[in-house]
Amino acid sequence: MVRKARAEESGERVGETLLDLEPGMEAGPEAPTGAGSASFREESEPEPYRSGVTRRQLILGAGGLAVVGGAWWLNGGAPNARRRSAKPAVPSGQAIGPGPRPLWVHRDVAVQTADGLTGAFTLPVFVDNGNLLTLDPVTGAGRRRIDLSEGEPQPEPGEGPVPPGANPAFAGGDRVFDSRIGRIRSFHLTDPAADWQLSCPPELGGPDSTPQLMSCDDGVLYGMTWQEQRADVAALFALAGETGRPLWVHQQPEGVWYSGFLPVPGGRLLVRSGPGELVSLKADDGARQWSVQAGEQVVLGGVGPEHVYTINRTGGVQAIRLADGGTAWALAPEQSDTWRYLRAVAVDGDVLLLRDDGRIARHDPADGKQKWAVTLPFRIDSRCCPVPVRDTLYVPGPADQGVRAIDIHTGEPRWQFRDSASGVQYWSLGTDGSRLFAGHDTQLYGLPIPD
């Protein structure tokens, strides 16, 4: 059945999207409509179902997804998952059913922008060239629009010691943070009265310092500052996310700069330092615990209860114990192989390893032994940021491939959700635990998650 979804903003029609509902998907009651969202209205004479993808969508620009991996990166485990015996392998090319009917659709007048935001939210958001619109997770109605472009220009990644992967705007829980020369700002996603701004005190370099925000975890914002006149002098800091109050500040030795901040279990903070050095810091005071050489150009690919998984420049993955920095196991492609590991996702006590050829495999974190593997019908890259919720892994694909739901315990495909809109972006995913927020280009959908 084909239904039209019309999006309206300020009382004016801004376009329409055709959704091809797969056979067996019931129409159901009309979805709630919010400002800038689309409601589903059945045509008086529905067109017959078309198995192909309908290409009918107003394209108002081009851009990537708001990811380091994504606008809403979630790299947590799968809580409360039911344990079942895992099958050894899952063949690719299995028939897959249609995805759930959207609870709501938001369609914007501009495309989402790449590199606009880093981190994870508790609400659905739409980021466009420094403008951040938060939506109601139940209805998709707009709740607050935040202008992140206001004020002095942000420091450009690559200036001074700032690594190219750093991002001045960072998401954490129900807030978004950004930095300007000499100050740090925090915006609450729904309550403007809870916003705050911090002028950098002398211990953070004062008004001439350049703050760089690196991570936010459990209500604490981590970052570093450096001074324009002394780029070799930096400070590592932690701020209370709700108030901006400094929790601790460490002046770094000359020439020492951390990047790739990753909060991990046990009250630790993993960072990269220098050529291939991985450092464990105590999150409550920033004290150094241990360091290990993990290889040049190493990327922190994911974290589990007892291990952190690093990806090296040759595409191999290494499991490093959080307790002491020792190597538990390592996997690497052969010289003749044309694939590489991209990411690790901890689920239900195990780890899922993603390769750029579309293969996803579940491994035992103790010894790296494979339990099952499945191959997607498309290649993936660093924009693919899967989201685990309970016993399902939601995997985003390119615009025309949509989102796939995979059983975490067996690797069996459950469904595929895709729209009829053409686009150039990868799908991005986020969740509040009850709903999946999936979007690309100019649209964002709220999808139900089974209990």
The DSSP line for 287-339 is -EEEEEE--TT-EEEEE-SSEEEEE-TTS-EEEEETTT--EEEEE---TT---
Q: What is the CATH number of the domain that holds 158?
A: 2.130.10.10
Q: Which domain holds residue 23?
A: 2-448
Which amino acid appears at position 363 of this protein? H
Predicted local distance difference test score (pLDDT) of residue 119:
78
CA dist., res. 28 & res. 113, Å (int): 33
The pTM score is 0.77
Sheet with 131-135, strands from edge to edge, namely 125-128, 131-135, 142-147
Do the Cβ atoms of 189 and 174 come closer than 8 Å? Answer: yes
CA dist., res. 283 & res. 58, Å (int): 47
Q: Give the residue carrying structure tokens 């629009």.
A: 145
Residues in the chain: 451
Q: Taken in order 358, 116, 206, 164, is the CA torsion positive or negative?
A: positive
* One pLDDT digit (tens) per residue for the chain, 451 residues: 444 443 333 333 223 333 544 433 333 334 444 445 443 333 333 333 233 333 333 222 333 333 333 333 333 333 333 333 344 444 445 578 899 999 999 998 888 875 567 777 788 998 887 789 999 999 999 999 998 876 655 555 444 444 433 445 788 889 999 988 889 999 999 999 999 999 999 888 888 888 888 888 888 999 998 876 665 668 899 999 999 999 999 988 877 888 888 899 888 999 988 777 899 999 999 999 999 988 777 788 889 999 999 998 889 999 999 999 999 999 999 999 999 999 999 998 899 999 999 999 999 999 999 999 999 999 999 889 999 999 999 999 999 999 999 999 999 999 999 998 878 889 999 999 999 999 999 999 999 998 8
CA dist., res. 230 & res. 101, Å (int): 55
Q: Indicate the number of domains in the chain.
A: 1
The DSSP call for residue 21 is P
